[in-house]
Structure 1
Amino acid sequence: MRFCNMDHTPRYLPILLAFCMFTTGASGLVNEYVLATITTYILGNSIEQFSIVIACMMLMMGVSGFVQSKMSDQNLLQKFIAVEVLMALLGGFAPLAIYSAYGYLENHFQFVHYFFVLSVGFLIGFEIPLVMRIIEQNKINLRVNLTLVYGMDYVGAFIGALIWVNYLLKNFPLTEISFIVAGFNFIVAILTIIYFMTRKIISRPLIHCVALLVTAVALIWGFVSNRDISNLLEQRFYDDPIVYKETTRYQHLVITHSNITDDTRLYINGNTQFSSLDEERYHDFLVHPLMAAAPDAKNILVLGGGDGLALRELNKYPSIESVTLVDLDPEMVKVASTHPRLREINNDAFRNAKVIIEPASLDEPGSHSGLFLYEDTATVDDSEYVASLVVYNIDADQFLRQKPKQQWDAVVIDLPDPSSIELSKLYSKQFYQMLRLYLTDDAVISMQSTSPYHAKEAYLSIGATMRAAGFNALPYRQNIPSFGDWGYYLAWVDNKTEAEVKATLSRLENFEVETSFITPELLAASFSFGKGELHTDTLCVNTLMQPCLLTHYVDRSWIVE
């Protein structure tokens, strides 16, 4: 129906429209974030996924702006209500639908994904033009028009972004956030109908009420059931039963356990982090070659390693006086400190930790000894030596930029593969140069460096980047059944050549401590590579401004010919 025949602007209409634009601005932006984030969790490469999702939404907003210009001025109110109801339904159920499609239609799930991305973008594009036309019909002057529509829409988007970052993402899974946001779109529809029903200027109110009731029931059911549905869907992605899952501010954690093989696995964003059946192979080669190359190391820095497994191996060395562990996610450390099975696997590695969560500065007081340890459920050898341990839950790059006052004799870098721009920067020339400032003259670094076979160009890029930062870099490898052929680097800054360090370690007769898998003979063999395996025509140095490592890893790794 048309409102232009009214003698004056309906009372409180500007306030209602201002609230509508504020709310839709906030919910529209958060909807974009939710869809982009779930795509990142599934496909990785956050910059690419966020860029594509938001670009598609912007495209459809433009398309809908053109489409609405061809619509008549009849029933603009009903059209606005319909847009908000559809936004609530599509936005609320989108994450569950996309997740279901990935589980059941893995090869075609992007059709479902982009249906929701494009549809939500199309509906968002309708909101502002419809409100503008409703305002025009009610003869609200241009200045108020622009203030209501653009001002409140932009303010709402800003507030929505703050709520997303500081509250929603920290406290709710994506499948629940979508229904919370849908609730705001639904509230807009309800308030609009109530306002115009009280003024008796809306046709067929019963039909509108029934539609809202059906929508309310669907959204309430989705909100109440989303976690159970998500659990059922997620189990399809894992061979073994899920025994723990949590979406933290930074990542999605899943722990599975097989009663048949007694295999416990940790997954982050769907990617295997370790299997209890062979993780000792991985961590032996990460830690013990380092300690053999730096036998006098007393102060150790660990970057990553929030599962405590590298720390478990370091705790075997009585010569180590202190360990500083830097892992971004406090929830990862909490799980490794409290989950009975993980505590058993890591030998309760955090049992004497002082944990500082997201410090404003490295000198921030108020650390808590044993912060996460509340129940002694693990089997631990209390006679084993444990070095002094301080854990910082902060990004490794930020940690170094805050200029720590300590210097370290050895560094273990146990970070995830460089599958996103956030991780790629921790493999950059600038990061290694900054790390070098906090090392003693004879310090040694060991770092996991992805697969020299499945991700050859990425592996070689990591070595080239370390050398460009002023380090010597010695490559070595080992087969880890859960991962395949896996690569590492030892790096140092003194005058010893790679050949000299390789020869010294190859002559090693035994390790200082008892190891689970590695032997001197295996270490010597790990320095061997086949013809051409350490050569590539696409070698590049990874920098902040040219993150070529990310391109190598995402586009040229684990490709099945």
Structure 2
Amino acid sequence: MIDRPQPCAEHARLPVPAGLGRGFVLASVFVCAACGLVYELELVAVASVLVGDSVTQASVVLSVMVFAMGIGSLLAKRLRCHAAAGFGYVEALLALVGGGSAMALYASFAWLGGARVVLVLISFTIGVLIGAEMPLLMTLIQRIRQQDAGGALADLFAADYVGALVGGLTFPFLLLPLAGELTGGLLTGVVNALAGGIVVQWLFRHDLEGRARWRLLAANVCVLLLLIAGSAFVGPFERAARHAVYGGDVRVAVHTAHQELVLTGGADRHRWPEDGELRLFQDGRPVLRGRQAHAVRRALVRPAMTGGPHQRVLIVGGGDGLALREVLRHRDVRKVTVVERDPGLVRLARRDPGLRALNSGALDDPRVRVVHDDPFDWLRDRGREAAVPFDVMVVALPAPGGGTGPKLYSEEFYAVAARALADEGRVALRAGEPGSHAREFWTVHATLRAAGLRPCVSAGGRGFLVARHARPAPPDCGLLADGSAPPRGDPRLPPSTLMHPRYRG
């Protein structure tokens, strides 16, 4: 397709020398690229929490956005003769959509029951607007001083890529820790709107007629006011969204460095159901329900603790203290190490009266040592030392696909765990229901076997496994809670590894 040349103004009237004007345009490219990458990362982060399956969400966001960028580049061809005004409106709209994207996703999840459709629509819109930037910026920079297209593109792409680097590092190390996803996105939109508005309203002001300039200025001011107002109301918005998701009895909601923790229900378990049953949610996923908590943890812990020596115990995860409580019920336990990555969860389990009542203050027992580290890294580093092995390892994590990354369900993790066990040591874990989630369950089974462990279906409850070194099986191996034999696993199922995970987490 060959475009007919259109009559456009050739040289811009700038308030500064041409070299300085080019510098301002390249600076705006840098800022806009940084903001654009923040929008992408924010969409992936929020969608991974609200929808789950981070790999799929990242693929959806990036593929839809890149496709939309191509469409935006084609649409921008019609704006080349009005490049300054077009760039101003594109940046204003991008600041509004990108800055409010996290809030829009959260609102859709809370009040519409899902965020997938909104995620695709926002990704597409942001992609179109980002794709329209480069053709318009190419036109503007050529109007300042004509140069060969290759040189102009090299300058623009250099500023764009460096800005993307800064945006990619700013999001996890500055915006998230200091402002959070919602406020961080809105503040990024403010920066984006200012960067685009200053370039057009000041540097290329002579390209705009009187009314056109005032309309664009009004649009930029409206966007800035909306973003600033949104930042001021983030707190009430989050509270309203939490009530819509969790009900009106939200009692505690905290953002830690790793997740969002929400407690609902009464602080005193003796007053249930008057105050509502206590429940704990991690990133929107229910992980603890007061009435069932002890029965579930007992089904996980007891078969491993009664199958042999259990003086030294390792608990992976379990920051809520419920699995630890069951372990400490055995009086001959001498030492328990809890490896919980999130110190915020441990702090909540120690301080909240309802959660502390459930775990009976187990985290403060003198036999307990709490380590805040990644379990895989901690076990691997420990394996390089001549450390005393553990008699029992309790993996107090959700079943695969329940919010925990696939790394802690890989063959490599179980192999490292096996090296930390004594000769008669056991591993207890939740593998999922063998009926409704049979493939996940038997994949865990196959992964344990590949790591040199011999798993069996725990008699403590359906969906739990107990594994030990590949020697004769425990007496209760192969029995379900009711004493019946489990369905046969599929011997063709391959194990899950770091390089080929079989779960989507």
Fold similarity call, TM over 0.5: yes
Q: By percentage of residues, which structure has more helix?
A: 2
Cα offset for 1:147?
A: 4.8
Alignment partner for residue 468 of structure 2, among 489, 492, 495? 492
Cα offset for 1:164?
A: 1.2
Is it true that 1:163 corresponds to 2:118 in the alignment? no
C-alpha distance 448-240 of structure 1, shift in aligned 2 (>3 A): farther
C-alpha distance 55-289 of structure 1, shift in aligned 2 (>3 A): same
Matching of residues 24-423 of structure 1 within 5 Å:
24-69=32-77, 71-106=78-113, 109-142=115-148, 145-196=152-203, 200-204=206-210, 205-239=213-247, 241-257=249-265, 260=274, 262-294=276-308, 296-351=309-364, 386-404=365-383, 405=385, 406=387, 407-419=389-401, 423=405
Moved more, 226-235 or 428-437: 226-235
Provide the C-alpha distance between the structure 1 equivalents of 2:351 and 2:9, rounded to a whole number of angstroms.
Answer: 62
Whether contact under 8 Å (2:30, 2:163) holds in the other structure is yes
Moved more, 420-429 or 209-218: 420-429
Q: Secondary structure at the match of 2:245?
A: coil
Residue by residue, what CA displacement relative to the aligned partner does 1:52-80 show, whole Å, maximum 9, x if unpaired? 111110111111112223x1532211111
Whether contact under 8 Å (2:397, 2:404) holds in the other structure is no
Moved more, 211-220 or 239-248: 239-248
Residue by residue, what CA displacement relative to the aligned partner does 1:449-487 show, whole Å, maximum 9, x if unpaired? 2222321221121112112211121202666xxxxxx41
Cα offset for 1:546?
A: 2.3
Cα offset for 1:83?
A: 0.9
C-alpha distance 339-171 of structure 1, shift in aligned 2 (>3 A): farther
Letter in 1 for 2:295: R
Provide the C-alpha distance between the structure 2 equivalents of 1:6 and 1:190, rounded to a whole number of angstroms.
Answer: 17
Provide the C-alpha distance between the structure 1 equivalents of 2:225 and 2:285, rounded to a whole number of angstroms.
Answer: 36
Provide the C-alpha distance between the structure 1 equivalents of 2:201 and 2:190, rounded to a whole number of angstroms.
Answer: 16
Residue by residue, what CA displacement relative to the aligned partner does 1:149-183 show, whole Å, maximum 9, x if unpaired? 11111111111111112122233332222102111
RMSD: 2.6
Cα offset for 1:17?
A: 1.2
Q: Secondary structure at the match of 2:368?
A: strand
Q: Secondary structure at the match of 1:278?
A: helix
Provide the C-alpha distance between the structure 2 equivalents of 1:263 and 1:335, rounded to a whole number of angstroms.
Answer: 17
Cα offset for 1:286?
A: 1.7
Moved more, 236-245 or 296-305: 236-245
Letter in 2 for 1:132: M
Cα offset for 1:101?
A: 2.3
Moved more, 45-54 or 205-214: 205-214
Provide the C-alpha distance between the structure 1 equivalents of 2:80 and 2:303, rounded to a whole number of angstroms.
Answer: 75
Letter in 1 for 2:92: V
C-alpha distance 464-527 of structure 1, shift in aligned 2 (>3 A): farther
Whether contact under 8 Å (2:12, 2:207) holds in the other structure is no
Provide the C-alpha distance between the structure 1 equivalents of 2:324 and 2:440, rounded to a whole number of angstroms.
Answer: 26
The share of aligned pairs that are identical, in percent, is 25
Cα offset for 1:31?
A: 0.2
Whether contact under 8 Å (1:304, 1:326) holds in the other structure is yes
C-alpha distance 502-146 of structure 1, shift in aligned 2 (>3 A): closer
Cα offset for 1:274?
A: 0.8
Letter in 1 for 2:252: Y
Provide the C-alpha distance between the structure 1 equivalents of 2:249 and 2:276, rounded to a whole number of angstroms.
Answer: 12
Whether contact under 8 Å (2:459, 2:476) holds in the other structure is no
C-alpha distance 18-338 of structure 1, shift in aligned 2 (>3 A): farther
Q: Quote the residue 1:457 is aligned against.
A: 439
Q: Quote the residue 1:434 is aligned against.
A: 416
Provide the C-alpha distance between the structure 1 equivalents of 2:206 and 2:253, rounded to a whole number of angstroms.
Answer: 51
TM-score by length of 1: 0.80
Provide the C-alpha distance between the structure 1 equivalents of 2:242 and 2:375, rounded to a whole number of angstroms.
Answer: 30
Provide the C-alpha distance between the structure 1 equivalents of 2:426 and 2:162, rounded to a whole number of angstroms.
Answer: 51
Q: Quote the residue 1:448 is aligned against.
A: 430
C-alpha distance 56-420 of structure 1, shift in aligned 2 (>3 A): farther
Provide the C-alpha distance between the structure 2 equivalents of 1:45 and 1:525, rounded to a whole number of angstroms.
Answer: 30
Moved more, 48-57 or 413-422: 413-422
Letter in 1 for 2:342: D
Letter in 2 for 1:283: R
Provide the C-alpha distance between the structure 2 equivalents of 1:309 and 1:422, rounded to a whole number of angstroms.
Answer: 18
Moved more, 36-45 or 54-63: 36-45
Provide the C-alpha distance between the structure 1 equivalents of 2:143 and 2:348, rounded to a whole number of angstroms.
Answer: 58
Whether contact under 8 Å (1:25, 1:154) holds in the other structure is yes
Matching of residues 4-15 of structure 1 within 5 Å:
4-6=10-12, 10=18, 12-15=20-23
Cα offset for 1:340?
A: 2.6
Provide the C-alpha distance between the structure 2 equivalents of 1:3 and 1:349, rounded to a whole number of angstroms.
Answer: 75
Cα offset for 1:280?
A: 0.5
Letter in 2 for 1:402: D
Q: Which runs of 4+ in 1 moved over 4 A?
A: 6-9
Letter in 2 for 1:390: R
C-alpha distance 527-436 of structure 1, shift in aligned 2 (>3 A): farther
Letter in 1 for 2:395: I
Letter in 1 for 2:57: Q
Q: Secondary structure at the match of 1:134?
A: helix
Cα offset for 1:301?
A: 1.1
Provide the C-alpha distance between the structure 2 equivalents of 1:398 and 1:11, rounded to a whole number of angstroms.
Answer: 52
C-alpha distance 477-66 of structure 1, shift in aligned 2 (>3 A): farther
Provide the C-alpha distance between the structure 1 equivalents of 2:275 and 2:12, rounded to a whole number of angstroms.
Answer: 76
Provide the C-alpha distance between the structure 1 equivalents of 2:248 and 2:377, rounded to a whole number of angstroms.
Answer: 37
Whether contact under 8 Å (1:442, 1:492) holds in the other structure is yes
Provide the C-alpha distance between the structure 2 equivalents of 1:84 and 1:300, rounded to a whole number of angstroms.
Answer: 57
Q: Secondary structure at the match of 2:190?
A: helix
Provide the C-alpha distance between the structure 2 equivalents of 1:338 and 1:225, rounded to a whole number of angstroms.
Answer: 29
Structure 2: gaps spanning 5 or more residues: 1-6, 267-272
